[in-house]
Structure 1
Amino acid sequence: MEPKPKKYVRIEIQTNSSSHHVCFKCRKQFRKPVDALVSLSHTGEVLETRVYDGNLKTYSCPQCAQPMTHLGKNFRPPPQDDIEGWEVARRLSDAGFKFGYTSQGSTKRLRDVSAFIERNRRKSEGEQLLDKWKAADK
């Protein structure tokens, strides 16, 4: 006879840390709480804790009520009147880049965004293998 699987519950909690969310329409940044998901056993024992940096909740802009975009802890917004800087941030965000715990750098000029995205995007295993072959042929 197989043992019964443990029953558990998942609880969403807010931590004491915060992360940056932006409204591209208003060109403003807001700090919002970082969420965590805790799994508890039927006895109350903590089975697992996962911290989600802004991925559990969607926050609305307090000024225009549009959904804000989570850009990570290390995002430094351009000045509100820097339209080009905000467009760079929007394009990087749309391409999946976050401003978290990475040292990959970034670009600040709109004309360099496409090349930066192409150089730094995540590649499939096949694309990585093809790049190695091309480098070996040189």
Structure 2
Amino acid sequence: MAHAKTSYVCLPCRASYKQPYPGRYDRERLCPRCTAPLVHVGSAFAPPRRRDAAAWRTLSVLLHAGVRFHEGCCGDGPGYRPRTVREVRERMAYARATGEPFDRALVRPEVQAPAGKRLPAPPIHP
């Protein structure tokens, strides 16, 4: 029987690789293209297309915040994850306004302003 596999990502190459789960004595995994360290993202990860720069930027923010894509206990997936830069900005503004940690605000399915407060408008980049 084959061993279970999980996903690893190389952000500079915008590439995803399925490899066996990390073992007790495994070394750091390196990208076969650029030899940069691979990031363990979890078994429920679906990579964006390589040309989709906005999706990879969103993924980079999620990974740097510590958000991963591991299966839930009932096989229902990792839960909500933002897919666009706009959603990430909204959740980061929510975290700043409420004081909630960024990693929890990023995986929250709905973002609402706290009572009596207004969320700041996300910055507009030309």
Name the TM-score, length of structure 2 as normaliser. Answer: 0.63
Give yes or no for the alignment of 1:109 onto 2:95: no
Moved over 4 A (4+): none
CA distance in 1, matches of 2:91, 2:47: 18
The one-letter code of the counterpart of 1:108 is R
Question: Residue in 1 aligned with 2:51?
Answer: 81
SS where residue 4 of structure 2 aligns?
strand
CA distance in 2, matches of 1:57, 1:18: 16
Deviations 1:80-129 (A, max 9, x none): 00011011111000001000124431111112114335377349xxxxxx
Identity of aligned residues (%): 26
CA distance in 1, matches of 2:83, 2:29: 26
CA distance in 2, matches of 1:68, 1:35: 12
On the 8 A contact 1:106/1:116 being kept in 2, the answer is: no
SS where residue 91 of structure 2 aligns?
helix
SS where residue 93 of structure 1 aligns?
helix
Give yes or no for the alignment of 1:17 onto 2:7: no
Deviations 1:28-48 (A, max 9, x none): 0001111344xxxxxxxxxxx
Name the TM-score, length of structure 1 as normaliser. Answer: 0.58
Extract unaligned runs of 5+ from structure 1.
1-14, 38-55, 124-133
The one-letter code of the counterpart of 1:91 is V
CA distance in 2, matches of 1:121, 1:64: 28
Give 1:22 deviation, angstroms.
0.5
Higher strand share: 1
SS where residue 70 of structure 1 aligns?
strand
Once the two structures are superposed, the pairs formed by residues 19-58 of structure 1 within 5 Å of their partners are 19-37=6-24, 57-58=27-28
Please tell me the root mean square deviation across aligned C-alpha atoms, in Å.
2.7
| Number of positions where the alignment pairs a residue of Structure 1 with one of Structure 2 | 94
